[in-house]
């Protein structure tokens, strides 16, 4: 990917502390009284949340940055750049998933838009945690 006139904006985007994703997920975990998680451990792909004992990692994928097929909105300005960027992010996520799974981790990815309806996320997460404790 070659630099674009619009790529300077990328430097202003923070990879952690996104209020619409990670902070909402933290609130969801606290409300559900799910404990034992740590944030941004130095593992492959730098997972957003890690449950070390259960060997479970959680990534909160932003719909824009990862090219969610449901919410996908590619900017018309520099469309080729953004399409390539989103495709690269999806490929990288797949490679990270494979790498972590080969190391014995369970990988759970949550789309940003799914945070609007937390009950299924909590249910699935509790299921994964309970299964891993057995």
For residue 45, the Cα-to-chain-centroid distance in whole angstroms is: 10
Between 132 and 117, the more confident residue is 117
Q: Is the pLDDT of residue 10 over 80?
A: no
Helices 24-31, 118-133: crossing angle, 10 deg rounding? 60
CA distance 50 to 54: 9
Domains of the chain, each with CATH number or no CATH: 18-133 (3.40.960.10)
**Total-model pTM:** 0.82
Dig out the tokens for 84 from the structure. Answer: 């390539």
Q: Residue 134 has what pLDDT?
A: 58
Distances (CA, A) of 126 to 3, 45, 63, 67, 130: 42, 23, 23, 27, 6
């Amino acid at each position: 990917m070659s630099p674009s006139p619009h790529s300077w904006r990328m430097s202003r985007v923070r990879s952690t502390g996104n209020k619409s994703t990670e902070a909402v997920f933290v609130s969801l975990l606290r409300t559900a009284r799910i404990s034992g998680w740590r944030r941004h451990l130095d593992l492959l792909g730098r997972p957003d949340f890690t449950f070390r004992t259960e060997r479970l990692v959680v990534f909160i994928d932003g719909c824009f940055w990862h090219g969610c097929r449901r919410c996908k909105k590619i900017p018309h300005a520099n469309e080729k750049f953004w399409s390539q960027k989103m495709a690269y992010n999806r490929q990288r996520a797949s490679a990270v998933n494979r790498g972590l799974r080969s190391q014995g981790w369970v990988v759970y990815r949550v789309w940003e838009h799914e945070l609007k309806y937390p009950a299924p996320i909590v249910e699935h997460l509790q299921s994964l945690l309970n299964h891993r404790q057995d």
